[in-house]
Chain A
Amino acid sequence: MLDEIKLLDKDGMRLDGRKLDQLRPIRMEAGVLDNADGSAYIEWGGNKVIAAVYGPREAQPKYLQDPSKAIVQVSYNMAAFSSDERVRPGPNRRATEISKITAEALESVVLTGNFPRASIDVYIEVLEADAGTRCAGLTAASIAIADAGIPMKDLVAACAVGKIDGQLALDLGKKEDNFGQADMPLGFVPGTGEISLLQMDGHMTIAEFKAAMQMCMAACKHIHELQRDALRRRYAVNYADMSEPEAEQ
């Protein structure tokens, strides 16, 4: 089965017509929800993800409170209609894992020391899934945290890189993810050069891994720019004197 599906054509183009180092189209918007303290919406290829942030607020239950810093709690959830097969509602092994790694990735950039005993609650809702939702979720969540006015070192940008038909490819689509040889999501903090999330499925040689990291970090820098634009655009509307160019997507 694995060998029967060709993910690259003879010109080296992918199933959706992308080049190996090309991202899917990405659109981001900050401040889409009124009731949350901060929010963001992202469309990334076929993914549609909303992130909402509440807090900092007093951590509940009380035993979770840390008297020296705030905690970041993330709930990643896929809507029942997000995939072609119905997703059974409620937490599962995969959602719990993604919630945990996203919380850790965000905690590394949020200045948690400013809010002892508090909790920053992030809700990531996947409305439509098409591979790479954890990266889209993390990217949206960091915009939402900034939108909530929570102090942070920098925004986290995330992107995946993988291996299809023996070649490294950026930002895998659903088929590439299912039938490729490797998938590696990366969360990157461009300002500090830190890596706040790194996972891998499948196999890569060390040389491939190094090349994949370079490729993915470059993509994250591009995504980081899109994140910044989304945040600026949120307030540029009211900002008559600003001569900020409209963000290009």
Chain B
Amino acid sequence: MFGCDAMADDVQRTDRVIVVPGEQVGDSELKSGNGTYRKGDLIFSAQLGIVNFRAGFVNVIPFAGKYSPKPGDSIIGIVQDAGPNSWMVDIGCPYPAFLHANESPWKVEFGATTQHLNVGDVVLAKIGQVDETRRVNLTMKEQGLRKLNTGQIMKIVHTKVPRIIGKNGSMISLLKEHTGCRIFIGQNGTIWIDGELEGMRKASAAINIIDRGTHLHGLTDEVRAYLNGNPPGNDDERM
């Protein structure tokens, strides 16, 4: 439903060890996954993050870093520029993404792009293609992809997206249930929340809790407690 990356769903707790770039994380029996590189028989971490073993692959889930677009990802972007026939959209990766008028859900006359989307507008879109030089093409041709007119957006590190969605969407449905908001989480770490003012405030506070404690266990319980009206214990610990 949310294009949830399966990666986070079965993170094995036992192997959550912090590694730094250049640290060995595996040997010839494993395959080199995300955030790692292979040198000879050995696999090393390329990023600062936590180790995760899954399906014969060793991955490093980074703590920080820019989103790298993958075809098929649902993302939330902010329109940066409008050309005669296209828009440039900021999706939080190193390069602006290109959205052609033909890939939009509207019939756009040449030169009339700003009638549909203008600079600063927020869109829910999907990554179409990414070529070798990382030029990104977006599409809005699928059902549910649209311009977001109301609500608010917030940004988190994209690697924490799976944690906000939770196992089989448990965390996100918890949030929706308790706040009565419509929430969509883009794979690029941009989150859209829409609903009553009080609900939105509660939802964004809950997301901040998740954002802060992403690598702690028992997070769902803590968030549930907060949504039920109990302030979380470590709310003020943030520097």
Interface, chain A (partner B; CB < 8 A): 37-38, 55-58, 67-68, 109, 111, 114-118, 146-155, 189-192, 227-228, 231-232, 235-236, 238-242, 244
Contacts and interface: CB of A to CB of B under 8 A. Distances in A.
8 contacts: A55-B94, A116-B133, A152-B22, A189-B22, A190-B22, A227-B20, A238-B213, A242-B18
Contact of A238 (B96, B134, B212): B212
Given A231-B20, A231-B48, 15 more contacts: A67-B133, A109-B21, A111-B37, A114-B68, A115-B134, A118-B95, A146-B21, A146-B47, A148-B65, A152-B46, A153-B46, A154-B21, A189-B22, A238-B213, A241-B217
B133 A147 contact: no
A78 to B, nearest CB: 28
Contacts of A228: 20, 23
B215 A149 contact: no
Nearest to A191: B22
A217 B217 CA distance: 40
A200 to B, nearest CB: 26
A155 B22 contact: yes
Contacts of B63: 149, 235
B44 interface: yes
B20 A191 contact: no
A151 B21 contact: yes
B162 interface: no
B169 interface: no
Interface in B1-60: 16-18, 20-23, 35, 37, 39, 44, 46-49
Interface string B144-169: 00000000000000000000000000
Nearest to B35: A151
B134 A151 contact: no
A58 B96 contact: yes
Nearest to A116: B133
A246 B231 CA distance: 30
A109 B21 CA distance: 10
Contacts of B215: 235, 238-239
Contact of B134 (A116, A232, A239): A116
Interface residues of B, number: 32
Nearest to B34: A151
B48 A146 contact: yes
Contacts of B22: 152-155, 189-191
B20 A151 contact: no
A64 B130 CA distance: 22
Contact of B94 (A57, A154, A189, A231): A57
B95 A149 contact: no
A76 to B, nearest CB: 22
A68 B132 CA distance: 9
B46 A151 contact: yes
A142 to B, nearest CB: 9
Contacts of B132: 116
A47 B17 CA distance: 32
A232 B20 contact: yes
B95 A239 contact: no
Contacts of B96: 58
A52 to B, nearest CB: 14
Given A116-B132, A118-B94, A146-B21, A38 B64 contact: yes
Contacts of B44: 153-154, 191
Interface in B193-217: 212-213, 215-217
A151 B64 contact: no
Contacts of B64: 37-38, 147-149
A228 B21 CA distance: 8
* Closest 4 pairs (CB-CB, A-B): A149-B65, A154-B22, A149-B64, A151-B46
A155 B94 contact: no
A155 B21 contact: yes
B216 A238 contact: yes
Nearest to A148: B64
Nearest to B18: A232
A109 to B, nearest CB: 8
A45 B194 CA distance: 53
A146 B48 CA distance: 6
